[in-house]
Every structure is written in C-alpha cells, then in structure tokens.
Amino acid sequence: MGKVLEVKDLKISFKTFFGEVEAVRGISFDVGKRETVAIVGESGCGKSVTANSIMQLLPMPPAFFKGGEILFNGENLLDKTEKEMKEIRGNQISMVFQDPMTSLNPTMKIGDQIVEGLREHRKLTQKEAEQKAIEMLDLVAVPQPEKRIHQYPHEFSGGMRQRVMIALAMVSTPQLLIADEPTTALDVTVQAQILELMKTLQDRLDMSIILITHDLGVVADMSDRVIVMYAGQIVEQGTVDDIFYRPGHPYTRRLLASVPHPNLSKDEPLQAIEGSPPDLYVPPKGCAFYDRCDRAMKICKDHMPEFISHGDSHCSRCWLHHPMAKQVQDLGKEGA
C-alpha cells in the first residue's frame, strides 16, 4: 500500500509568556492510500496541533517547528513556501473542523462560499462553478441544492452545515482529508448520517482520512488504524482490533475501560483514571503517564520508554513490554 503521508519525529512547541509549551514531542506515523487513521487522546494531548501542522495552519509565532518532517507523497511540506502550500491546501489535502458554525462565513451565501473555493483552485466561469457547487451539495446529500445555494449558514441546521463543510473540503477531490472532531458538535442520529457520508465519499474518491476524535465509539466505527496520543507523544499505535482487543499501553487500557460498557453492572464503579495529564511547560523526563499509571515501575519515572513492537504494525511505548521487565500476565491479552 502506497503511503500518502509520513510524519517523522515531528516536534512542535508554542512560545508563551510563561515559557515554552512542548505540545508535540516527537511523533512519527504514516497514512496509507484509502486508509482511515484515527488519532485519539484527551484535550491537550496534541492531536489537533498535529492535524493543523500538516496543513500548516498553526499561527507562527507563537508556534514553531522544533524538528521533524511531514512528507506528503514524498515531499516535505515543511520546506514548502506559503504559495506552494496554498496549492496543496484545499487541493490535495482538505480539512473539516469541529464547529461548522464558526468555520463558515455567516455573511456569505452557501453557494458563493463553495464557488469561491472552486474558482480559487480551478479555472471555471461563474456559471460553471455554480453548477459544480450544486453538484457538490448533491454529493453530500443536501436536499434541494438549487434552492439551498442561495441561503446563508444560519438557515442551515448543524448537520446540514457540516455537510456543507464536507462539500467544501471535497471540491478538489483531495487525496487526504483531515477531520478534526467532525461530529462532536452533532447529535447521534446526525452523527451517524455524517459518518456514513464520509465512508461513502472515501470509497468513491479513493481518499485517505485522518480522523481526530475522543469518541472511542466513532473510532471503532470508522478507522483502520488507531494512534493513541498522550501528553504530546504517541503512546501506542496499531490496527483498530489491536487497540481495542490487545491494548499494550496502560493508558490505552484505562481509556477503554473508562467508558461505560453496555454489560457493566450499575453497582460497579466506572474505572476512572485519577489525576490529570502533566503540564507540558515542564514535560516529564520519563513516561508522561507515570503519575496516573497503576503499573508504574521505578524506571518509568526518569527514563522515557522506547517503542516496543507487538507485531506487524502494533507498537506501544511502555517499559512493561521490555524483554527484561517482569512479565505481566494479563497485559495485552484483555478484551476481545
């Protein structure tokens, strides 16, 4: 499978009044053609910063790249000029954001917003572009597109606005779609519609998707592979089945256990993860999960674990899997 995107040892920091925040601390992953890769993690773990950095949408300063590469079809995006990035952005890589109300221009008709995007990237007459805009709305199943292009965002419901956002992202049939919490602001029945739509479009357009979400149900539904982030690092990655049925990192296990399972009895407490993630002004020397981990060892405090492979594409960053570590029976064999 060809690789569309390769991220290598990416490091991003923010300069703030109080010092430097190391938001992304050396992450590497890739995305194959037609593959859906989910990035999960809690707020502040760096998942959105990663997504925005691929599109180079981070405000610089305060943000700056400390190292690493983002290879898109083999070319490093960090070497591109702003003009070249403009070509790629919206053409080959598109993005869908969480909040469709703030991402659309409230003073412009829906049709005009799509036409603007189309004419930015392609030589089309106004008439042709309008025709195309209607087709795009039809593609994302907005009813009566001929009528709807003359309406404003406030005349659309949340789900319909998110469809428009997806239509905007699709105008140039991108190879890679980055969806940052695309359904978080939506109701479940509408969420189901939007996720279904994304799958259909992926099949039709041969697109790769990076899906950023904190909803493990959405991850199970949509993704081929999963990347788990914690405190600016990847702590585990693998296929969706690896992550859900053979989780290797204690954080992944605890995260999965903290959502109520349908068979959970009401008398059992939920398995909360006590405490909160570390402050990234002063990132910990050792494993970032040390303070909250129920299996922490001495070495975890001061030494950062390396990735240890559990098979083909499955690896996690935890000392428990080191060959010299005391073998833990149940680890990595739970679930299923």
Partner 1 sequence: MNPLISVRNLKKHFDVGEGMLKAVDGISFDIHEGETFGLVGESGCGKSTAGRTMIRLYEPTEGELLFNGQNVYELSSREMKEVRKNFQMIFQDPYACLNPRMTVEDIVAEPLDIHKICHSKKERRKRVMELLELVGLGKEHAMRFPHEFSGGQRQRVGIARALALNPKFIVCDEPISALDVSIQAQVVNLLKDLQAKLGLTYLFIAHDLSMVRYISDRVAVMYLGHIMELADSEELYNTPLHPYTKALLSAIPIPNPKEQRNRHRIMLEGDVPSPINPPQGCRFVDRCMYATDICRQKTPRLEEVKTGHHVACHLVKEINKEVL
Query: Is residue 132 within a helix (H) or strand (E), and if so which, with residue range?
Result: helix 126-139
If the CB atoms of residues 116 and 224 are measured against partner 1, the closer one turns out to be 224
CA dist 212 and 199 (Å) reads 15
Q: Is 61 in the site for partner 1 (CB under 8 A)?
A: no
Q: How far is CA 139 from the centre of its chain?
A: 24
Here the tokens at position 53 are 């950095």
* List 19, 62, 67, 260, residue binding partner 1 (CB under 8 A): 260
266 touching partner 1, by CB under 8 A = yes
312 forms part of the interface with partner 1 (CB under 8 A): no
The stretch among 11-19, 67-75, 204-212, 239-247 that binds partner 1 (CB under 8 A) is 239-247
- Nearest approach in angstroms of CB 158 to partner 1 is 8
Minimum distance from CB of 311 to partner 1 (Å)?
Answer: 17
Quick check: 274 binds partner 1 (CB under 8 A)?
Answer: yes
Q: How far is the CB of 137 from partner 1 (least distance, A)?
A: 15
Phi, psi of 273 (to 5 degrees): -95, 115
**Of all helices (H) and strands (E), which one includes residue 130?**
helix 126-139
Cis peptide, bond prior to residue 269, ω within 30 of zero: no
Taking CB under 8 A as the rule, does residue 258 contact partner 1?
yes
Site for partner 1 in 147-206 (CB under 8 A): 157-160, 187-193, 195-196
Q: How far is the CB of 159 from partner 1 (least distance, A)?
A: 6
Interaction between residue 67 and partner 1 (CB under 8 A): no
DSSP secondary structure string for all residues of 228-239: EEETTEEEEEEE
324 touches partner 1 (CB under 8 A): no
Among 33, 34, 66, 214, binds partner 1 (CB under 8 A): 214
As measured in angstroms, the least distance from the Cβ of 217 to partner 1 is: 3
**Is residue 259 at the binding interface for partner 1, with CB under 8 A as the rule?**
yes
Residue 259 in tokens:
């959502």
| Among residues 101, 264, 282, 328, the one that binds partner 1 under rule CB under 8 A | 264
Q: Is 216 in the site for partner 1 (CB under 8 A)?
A: yes
Q: 84-93 — which CB contacts under 8 Å span 24+ positions?
A: 85/56, 89/55, 89/56, 90/117, 90/120, 90/121, 90/169, 90/171, 90/172, 90/174, 91/121, 91/172, 91/174, 92/172, 92/174, 92/175, 92/176, 93/54, 93/55, 93/174, 93/175, 93/176, 93/177, 93/178
Q: Which of 16, 276, 309, 313 binds partner 1 (CB under 8 A)?
A: 276
State the DSSP H helix or E strand holding residue 20, giving kind and residue range, or none if neither.
strand 19-32
| Contact residues for partner 1, defined by CB under 8 A | 42-43, 143, 157-160, 187-193, 195-196, 214-221, 240-241, 244-245, 254-256, 258-262, 264, 266, 269-274, 276
